[in-house]
């Protein structure tokens, strides 16, 4: 069973602050890493799917990096806005064993951006 860990569990920042959080995952049989944003009362929305070591993706003020050798990904938000408040989930997709083809989710990081 894969263990995907996210830290911190929750985070409070002021509007305009930049922030980042971490997703760690087992590096063996790695296939892809997904990031999702989950706003209250809505469905999770995909941010990024990353597959290559050293990959860096950007969507507006949000960016993510990937290190598959050491098994971690960082999500960065530049100039946080109140509308960025959400739970950010990462999930690892592995290509081997009993975890083949299944996304394993972390617990999420709850971000609150205060005006």
- Which residues contact another protein (rule: CB under 8 A)? 4, 31-32, 34, 36, 41-46, 49, 51, 89, 93, 101-108
Cβ contacts of 107 within 8 Å, gap of 6 or more: 5, 6, 9
d(CA 110, CA 51): 24
Question: For another protein, which is the closer residue by CB, 12 or 79?
Answer: 12
> Could you tell me the two tokens for 58?
């950007």
Contact yes or no for 76/19 (Cβ under 8 A): yes
Alpha helices (runs of H) in 1-115, residue ranges in sequence order: none
Handedness of CA 60, 5, 33, 52 (dihedral sign): positive
Q: Least distance from C-beta 55 to another protein, angstroms?
A: 14
Question: For another protein, which is the closer residue by CB, 10 or 14?
Answer: 10
Q: Least distance from C-beta 33 to another protein, angstroms?
A: 11
Q: Least distance from C-beta 93 to another protein, angstroms?
A: 6
Q: Least distance from C-beta 105 to another protein, angstroms?
A: 4
Question: For another protein, which is the closer residue by CB, 36 or 80?
Answer: 36
């Amino acid at each position: 069973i894969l263990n995907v860990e996210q830290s911190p569990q929750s985070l409070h920042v002021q509007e305009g602050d930049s922030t980042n959080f971490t997703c760690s995952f087992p590096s063996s049989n790695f296939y892809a890493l997904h990031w999702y944003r989950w706003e209250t009362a809505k469905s999770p929305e995909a941010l990024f799917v990353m597959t290559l070591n050293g990959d860096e993706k950007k969507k507006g003020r949000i960016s993510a990096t990937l290190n598959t050798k050491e098994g971690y990904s960082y999500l960065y938000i530049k100039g946080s806005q109140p509308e960025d408040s959400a739970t950010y989930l990462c999930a690892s997709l592995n290509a081997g064993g009993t975890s083949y083809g299944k996304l394993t989710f972390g617990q999420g990081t709850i971000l609150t951006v205060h005006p």
